[in-house]
A and B are shown apart, each in its own frame.
Chain A
Amino acid sequence: MIAVLKHELRLYFHSLTAYVFGAFLLAFVGLGAMLYNIQAAVSNFEFVLSFGCLIFVVIVPILTMRVIAEERRQKTDQLLCALPITTTEVILGKYLALLLVYLIPLALISLYPLIFSQYGEVYLPTAYGSILAFFIMGAALIALGVFISSLTENQGLAAGIGIAAILLNYYSVSLSEYVSTTAFGSLAALCVLAVLLAVLVKYLTKNENLAYIGSGVLIVAMTGVYMYDSTLFEGLLPDIMAKLSLFERFYVFVNGVFDMTAVVYYLTVIAFFLFLSVQSLEKRRYN
């Protein structure tokens, strides 16, 4: 794993990727700090991070698009398969390298509240709690980006899907106001999601029975619950959309609450997408 980590770091700093990622993050957070903390003279640094998290929509896919897609395009994934290291070690090595690239600009950003505290009253616990949450949320988005990169050998496509997925997550709370709140609407949408899940499972495992039987059982179970008590489904779809939002949970930290459930949620998202990335890479052996 250490070998992969060192190798990935070398590749990021050989190319412009790490520098572009860091520059964009610093520029956007710097712009926010200028607008909020300097021009508007607001002492809350967490508002800057709340403004700055929008940049993740662009910079996370740029950072993660090549991580596995490029291995496939260059056929170097064959080397990784033939080396005496496990797929889990490969994915963890790559992911930790991405986290280190992300941590470098974040380390600079974490100096801002201290600098501002020299010139006014800054409530440091909220500022640093938000920086920690900003890091974990970014780590969750990076895990999502790694998984998307593992689905294709086309970097551009990986970046496009990544931007769409993160943008959808960013606006999921706003969009939830426009979706159906009726019980039947929620059931129909969840059935569509079950079918999409089946397609993903089939793609990752090449096991049609597991995919179709799994989603079939899920749809039958949901329909059964709906027939038993349809009120359980009322407003369920917008509720799920709001709950899945990574950004919405971050705003709780910005409001001064260190929400441990959000931390657990972010860590679960990280573990889930890294697990899927390992499965996606393993799938190549079975093709």
Chain B
Amino acid sequence: MGSGERQSMISVEHLTKYYGEYLAVEDLTFEIGEGHVYGFLGPNGAGKTTTMNIMTGCLSASAGSVHIDGHDIFEEAEAAKKCIGYLPEQPPLYMSETPLEYLRFVGEAKGLRGQALTEQIQAVIRQTGIEAVQGRRISALSKGYRQRVGIAQALLGNPKTIILDEPTVGLDPIQIIEIRSLIKELGRSHTVVFSSHILSEVHAICDRILII
């Protein structure tokens, strides 16, 4: 890509992933630009989670490449990961900690320190609406709040791209509405990639759709 040319935020080229003999993703190519909420739609077992795991550096690819804001996720993993906030399907939470302690760890791991860390933690706590539960143990929180804590950790470090893997699965209808409106709000300031196997949900939230 030329230097004067506008780079895409995420560029996936000829991505293939095998689990042993099983082909999970075959020759997948797409580009995602800056801004907007992108829906990543596909039936169960289509390879959405595998693709997201590769895009975030959690999995290797059997073939192909992934660039995040121009950084190769395999060759320049650290720089690429700084551009991404990721919420896997099961929020990766430490149950014995409070949201505040958990967010402090994630923030520090993302390179935030001192006042900047404190300010960002307070900002994401406000943004995700977990002020009331920030001092409670995560094990004592409802699934909806746990999902919000998971989204809060993804927002720390102010990454350009937020990747959410089926964030509304297992939530009750009110929690689903709340999480959807939160994702829409995030789409104003970040590129959000949101996976789902429910067409109506993707239609309700997303500006653009990728079908796998």
Interface positions of A (Cβ within 8 A of B): 2-4, 6-7, 10-11, 14-15, 74-79, 81-86, 285-287
Q: Which residues of B contact A81 (CB under 8 A)?
A: 56-58
Would you call B92 and A76 a contact (CB within 8 A)?
Answer: yes
The minimal Cβ–Cβ distance linking A281 to chain B, given in whole angstroms, is 12
A2 touches B108 (CB 8 A): yes
Contact B97 A83 (CB under 8 A): no
Contact B81 A82 (CB under 8 A): yes
Additional A-B contact list (6), CB under 8 Å, known A3-B109, A74-B93, A285-B58: A7-B94, A10-B101, A76-B92, A76-B93, A82-B58, A286-B60
The answer to whether A82 and B84 touch (CB under 8 A), given A2-B108, A287-B19, is yes
Contact mask for chain B residues 58-102; partner A; CB cutoff 8 A; 1 contact, 0 none: 111000000000000000011101101010101011111100010
- Smallest Cβ-Cβ distance to A285: which chain B residue: B60
Pick from B82, B92, B96: contact of A79, CB under 8 Å: B92
- Whether A82 and B86, one on each chain, are in contact in the complex, defined by CB atoms closer than 8 angstroms, is yes
Contact pick for B81, options A15, A83, A285, A287, CB 8 Å: A83
Closest CB-CB distance, B173 to chain A, in whole Å? 25
Q: CB within 8 Å of A: which of B135-155? A: 153
Which residues of A lie under 8 Å from residue B110 when comparing CB positions?
83-84
Between A and B, 25 residue pairs with Cβ closer than 8 Å are A3-B109, A4-B109, A6-B108, A10-B101, A10-B105, A14-B97, A15-B96, A74-B92, A74-B94, A75-B90, A76-B92, A77-B92, A78-B53, A78-B58, A78-B88, A79-B92, A81-B57, A82-B56, A83-B81, A83-B106, A83-B110, A84-B109, A84-B111, A285-B57, A285-B58
Complex Cα distance, B149 from A246, in Å, reads 45
B-side contacts of A286, CB under 8 Å: 59-60
Q: Are B92 and A3 in contact (CB under 8 A)?
A: no
**By CB atoms of chain B within 10 A, which of A6, A82, A285, A287 has the most?**
A82
Contact partner, B109, options A11, A14, A85, Cβ 8 Å: A85
The answer to whether A82 touches B97, judged by C-beta atoms less than 8 angstroms apart, is: no
Question: In the complex, A98→B53 CA distance in Å?
Answer: 30
* Distance, CA A86 to CA B80, complexed state (A): 13
A82 partner residues in chain B, CB cutoff 8 A:
56-58, 81, 84, 86, 88
Residue of A nearest to B55 (CB): A82
- The CB with the most chain B CB atoms within 10 A, among A14, A74, A75, A83, is that of A83
Closest Cβ neighbor of B84 among chain A residues = A82
Q: Determine whether the beta carbon of B97 is less than 8 Å from that of A75.
A: no
